Amino acid sequence: MERRAKPRSTTLVVVIIGLVITGAMTFATWSVHDSNEKRLLNQRTREAAAVLTAALPSIQTPLGSAAVLAEATDGNDAQSFQQLMDPLVRNHQPFVTASIWALVSGHYRPILTAGTTSKMESRGQSMIDAFFQRSTQTATLGVFPLLHGKDPRLGYSYTVVGAPVRYIAYAESAIPADRKEVVAKDSPFTGLDNAIYLGKREVPAALIAATTRALPLKGRRAKASVAFGDTSLMIVASPTTELGGSLLADLPWIVALVGLVGTASGAVLVDRLLRRRTHAEDLAARNAVLLAEQRSVAQTLQHSLLPDRLPHIPGFVIGGRYHAGAEGVDIGGDWYDVVAQDDGRFLIVVGDVSGRGLPAATVMASLRFAIRAFASQGDSPAVILTKLNSLADFDGDGRFATVLCAAFEMGTGEITVANAGHPPPIVVEGGQARFLDTTVGTPVGVVAEPHYSSVTMTLGRQATFLAFTDGLFERQGETIQVGMERLRRSSADAPGTLEETLDVIIEKQGVHRVKDDTAILGVQWLT
């Protein structure tokens, strides 16, 4: 019996050690799986929340345009308002109704309407007045919940930056009555049950959309909030599948079973665990790529804020280029535009709003449409810049914009240029390139009452006029003078056609490799 004791003791020790090792490995794999699931859920929830912010410019930009139009036309141009908003309300994308409101006899009332009757009008007058009064005191998109009843909606208001505010652009988006959200297969919401709430409280009255009726969501869940106008959107998400893969979920059980075989089998399983962990990290990397793809919506938005095609001007060739910075995907504030006027002239504009992101893009859109409104009234470049500065406040955050305006006489080739702190344009004639000596005024939004003056010159036959933003010549570690001289030589060496000239300049300046956004607009007189 004594001889058997040692083998039995050794066996017991081996069993105990094996059980301890197996138990430790089982707990470790479960802990890795649990931690990985939490991390992936938080990451996916943040990605889904980031996607929600892409909806804000599609709401704010047209409302900003409508507000600028109303201020520029004193709220009397119903036809232009209908032309602007009808495409946005015809198919209820993104609005079912849009209107301009003004203070009438002490109360806010709609004076222009496109689409159906707004649900706001059914609210009490005191509530209406309070909402629009608040809207006049901020440059942020106002959001008003109209979620009750069989026709739930979200109301949005926006005003032109600056004071005094006379008109408020307002619109409403429809929300499904059952709040049911359908998730596409390639959506960042795939694999998640989610509920989206207006504000920061998870209450039924604030629910906008959800993928399930079983609310509030139970089990493992995560929350993320993003700014949405003057309020916020909160998304609550819960996984419907194992985000790290089914094998990683089953791995603790596999380790527990196979670990009993012995130390060797345990070593194999540990190796497999490490490989599966690498696989989980690959999944996380793919999710990061998905986030980058969703953020590319910002670049698409940037191009949507630029003119999709330039007007045809008899006797002139006009071309433009826009390149986003090589690093980052934030929206920028560079833009160009061409506006045909009725008196035999056309106006070109190139501008650059300081900073990046939605605030810069919002300011850029407001300035662009304001310039179009002023140009339609036949204002000269200097007058346009003066009026533009009177609108500028840019939310008091120190933001400003440099703007170059040039009016072209179609019959004579005469150019009148006004400059608000912008790089001077280049004129290319007879194989020679020179910077046009403009009178540089202060950037828009810097001082309250700036003075802008213009210079006038005549463009020769086959001459080319080039206006651009600083991303075309500014380089890190190099003075501005060196960059501008390189740009001048590139312009002089370019071939004759405008399109070839723009392509050569973009290539020689190495625009594709720089971090800053770049816009360039060229005009060539053919007659």
Residue pLDDT, tens place only, 425-466: 999 988 899 999 999 999 998 888 889 999 999 888 888 999
Across residues 82-107, what is the average pLDDT? 91
The pLDDT value given to residue 3: 46
**What is the predicted pLDDT for the residue at 360?**
78
pLDDT in tens, 334-380: 899 999 887 789 999 999 988 777 777 788 888 999 999 999 888 99
Residues near 152 by beta carbon (within 8 Å), at least 6 away in sequence: 146, 174, 175, 176, 177, 179
> Is pLDDT of 258 > 50?
yes
Question: Cα(398)–Cα(124) distance, rounded to whole angstroms?
Answer: 38
> With the C-alpha atoms ordered 42, 44, 45, 46, is the resulting torsion angle positive or negative?
positive
pLDDT digits (tens, 9 = 90+) for 118-134: 999 999 999 999 999 99
Mean of all residue pLDDT scores within the chain: 84
41: which 2 tokens? 């859920």
Task: Tell me which of 466 and 44 has the higher pLDDT.
Answer: 466
**Are residues 68 and 100 in contact, defined by beta-carbon separation less than 8 angstroms?**
no
Question: Can you say how many angstroms the Cα of residue 181 is from the centroid of all Cα atoms in its chain?
Answer: 23
For the stretch 393-410, pLDDT in tens is 655 566 789 999 999 998
**Preceding omega of 164 cis (within 30 degrees of 0):** yes
The predicted pLDDT at position 1 comes to 44
Does residue 175 contact residue 248 with C-beta atoms inside 8 Å?
Answer: no
Euclidean distance between CA atoms 57 and 136, whole angstroms: 19
Judged by average pLDDT, the poorest of 182-186, 190-194, 228-232, 380-384 is 182-186
User: Which of the four pLDDT bands, split at 50, 70 and 90, describes residue 244?
Assistant: confident
User: Which residues touch 107 (CB under 8 Å, ≥6 apart)?
Assistant: 125, 128, 129
SS3 296: coil
Percent of residues, the chain, with pLDDT higher than 90: 37
CB-CB neighbours of 346 under 10 Å:
20
More confident call, 306 vs 149: 149
User: pTM value?
Assistant: 0.47
> For residue 16, what pLDDT is reported?
86
Q: What is the pLDDT of residue 111?
A: 93
The domain ranges of the chain are: 13-295, 298-525
**Topology of domain 298-525, CATH:** Phosphatase 2c; domain 1 (3.60.40)
- Report the share of the chain in percent with pLDDT over 70: 87
Tokens of 455: 């210079």
Are residues 61 and 305 in contact, defined by beta-carbon separation less than 8 angstroms? yes
pLDDT at 234: 92
**pLDDT band at residue 271 using 50, 70 and 90 as cut-offs:** low
